[in-house]
Amino acid sequence: MKFSVSALRPGTIPHCRPIAAQTPPPSLPAAAGAFGAELAQIAATGESRAYRAGEVIFKAGAPGDGFYLVHSGRVELTAVVGDNQPRVLAAVGPGDFFGEMAVLDDAPRSATAVAALDTLVCFLGRDALLHLLDARPRLALDLIREFSRRMRALNQKYVDEILQAERLAVVGRFAGTIVHDFKNPLAVIGLAAELACGENTPGEMRVRAEQTIGRQIKRITAMLQELMEFTRPSGQKVELHAANFAAFMAPLAEEIAAEIGPRKCRVEMPAPPPAAAVRIDAQRLSRVFYNLVNNAVDAMGPRGGAITLRFTADGAFLRIEVEDSGKGIAPEIAAKLFEPFATHGKEHGTGLGLSICRKIAEDHGGRIWAQSHAGRGALFCFTLPLGA
């Protein structure tokens, strides 16, 4: 007895004798392996089921009630991976089979099977399949070998899909960060440029507009530097040069103090930086201080406050502390402070500042961490190896 897929209602099961009684088993492709004849015999004992294109054959989590052998069409096996989106892990064509694992381990389905085309399958119930395998040990061994091969391939596919999903998620966050954070300064630059170029704009307002443009350009440049630092290839050789820490730190502290002064913030150093010998990349290490200080200024808000810098020689390392007089570190962000794109309560920024600080500190042979105590502001500490 032959069945026309188009003549069946979705999901209906024809009441018929086994396929082999009326129709010879289809020739199985090479993909079926050395046990193609055994699969043909399985097909001869099952019942036909037809599914229209797009119809779900079974869903993930459903009981493993049987084993399917594809006569015609194509079936796609999908699972939710990484980003909570269903992804195709395998496609099964004529002469191939699916749904075997849930039958053998008596567990719910781990994937969803969907007919990609109008599909005709042979279905063999769980009890019938187990009885057949019990009666034919050789068939059981061949199937186990095929299952093992499939599991290896599926595991690799699953890993690849997870990695791809993570890459896409990172790219999405990266793009969203760039668009959101660059939009505001560009808008300010556009308005200031219109004001500066206006024919009736007074000279004083032109100067202020030019200053505004300059500040926003510096802001964009700083964000671009963070993005470039974040995308610096891992394992890239870092060139460190011998330096006197006091000679490096003193002018940098003056520059930082001048930059944050207009925002009602000040830099305090209970003791001058020590004249210790260190090996540093001055430009990259400066970014650690700028990132930590700017984060502190943002955290303290419009009322401003003090940022205290402390330096202590601790064994083979120089310990640097940056403490602000703000409200401290929010508990909801504390555990992921140094992860990329982790931000809390900031109106602008890439969310990469602290992850970049960690990378730079580690490239210098040190480490970085944060502390927060009740009644005190946030305290960030990082170390540099001593010695030239």
The larger pLDDT score, comparing residue 116 to residue 21, is at 116
CA 54, CA 66: separation in Å to the nearest integer?
20
In a domain, 285, yes or no: yes
pLDDT band at 11; cut points 50, 70, 90: very low
| 159 is a domain residue | no
Whether 153 is in a domain gets the answer no
- Tell whether 350 and 284 lie within a shared domain: yes
**How far is it, in rounded angstroms, from Cα 14 to Cα 223?**
65
CA 120 to CA 48: how far, in whole Å? 7
If asked whether residues 225 and 262 sit together in one domain, one would say no
| Bridging pattern class, strands 265-268 and 66-72 | unpaired
User: Is the pLDDT score of 302 beyond 70?
Assistant: yes
The token pair at 367 is: 């480490």
CATH at residue 76: 2.60.120.10
Predicted TM-score of the model (pTM): 0.49
Q: Which of 135, 156, 189 corresponds to the end of one domain?
A: 135
Q: How many domains does the chain have?
A: 3
Cβ partners under 8 Å of residue 340, min gap 6: 170, 173, 230, 351, 352, 355
pLDDT of residue 255: 86
CATH number, residue 344: 3.30.565.10
Q: What is the pLDDT of residues 368-382, one digit of tens each?
A: 999 877 778 899 999
Residue with tokens 């955290």: 299
The residue from 86, 108, 135 where one domain ends is 135
Distance in angstroms (rounded) separating the CA atoms of residues 232 and 238: 11
Same domain (yes/no): 72, 111: yes
Among 256, 272, 243, which residue's Cα sits nearest to residue 364? 243
Average pLDDT over every residue of 94-113: 78
Long-range contacts at 250-256 (CB < 8 A, ≥ 24 apart): 252/286, 252/289, 253/309, 256/289, 256/290, 256/293
Nearest one of 60, 93, 65, 66 to 78, comparing CA atoms: 60
Note whether 364 and 247 are same-domain residues. Answer: yes
Residues in the chain: 388
Question: Domain range holding 222?
Answer: 171-230
Q: How many CA atoms lie within 13 A of 308 on its CB side?
A: 12
My answer on whether 101 and 31 are in the same domain is: yes
pLDDT of residue 5: 33
Instruction: Please give the average per-residue pLDDT across 345-372, as a whole number.
Output: 80
Residues 218 and 295 in one domain: no
pLDDT band (50, 70, 90) for residue 30: very low
245 and 225 housed in the same domain = no
- Pick 312 or 20 by higher pLDDT: 312
Question: Mapping DSSP to helix (H, G, I), strand (E, B) and coil, where does residue 262 land?
Answer: helix
Q: Do 98 and 182 lie in a common domain?
A: no
- H helix intervals, 231-280: 245-260
Q: 3-class DSSP state for residue 235?
A: coil
pLDDT of res. 273? 94
Final residue before a domain boundary, out of 135, 160, 194: 135
Inside any domain, residue 142: no
Within a domain: 341: yes
**Claim to verify: residue 264 and residue 376 sit in the same structural domain:** yes
Mean pLDDT of 288-301: 88
Q: Indicate if 255 and 369 belong to the same structural domain.
A: yes
Let me know if residue 18 belongs to a domain: yes
Can you tell me the distance from the alpha carbon of 3 to that of 305, in angstroms, rounded to the nearest whole number? 81
The pairing of beta strand 265-268 with beta strand 305-314: parallel
Tell me, yes or no, whether 161 lies in a domain: no
Q: Which residues pair with 277 in a beta bridge?
A: 244
- pLDDT score, position 200: 80
Same domain, 208 and 268: no
Cα 372 to Cα 334: distance, rounded to the nearest angstrom: 9
Is the pLDDT at 316 greater than 50? The verdict is yes
80 and 213 fall within a common domain: no
66-94 average pLDDT score: 80
Tens of pLDDT, residues 160-215:
655 666 655 665 666 665 665 676 677 778 888 888 887 787 888 888 888 888 87
What b/e string do you get for 40-72 counting C-beta neighbours within 10 Å, with b at 16 or more? bebbebbbbbbbbeeeebbebeeebebbbbbbe
Q: Is residue 81 part of a domain?
A: yes
> What pLDDT is recorded for position 128?
77
Stronger pLDDT, 265 or 258, i.e. the higher one: 265
Residue 189: what residue type?
I
Higher pLDDT pick, 235 / 129: 129
Please provide the DSSP assignment of 305-345 as one string: EEEEEEEEEETTEEEEEEEESSS---HHHHTTTTSTT--SS
Query: Is there a contact between 282 and 243 (Cβ–Cβ < 8 Å)?
Result: yes
Give residue-wise pLDDT tens across range 38-63: 666 666 777 889 999 999 999 988 88
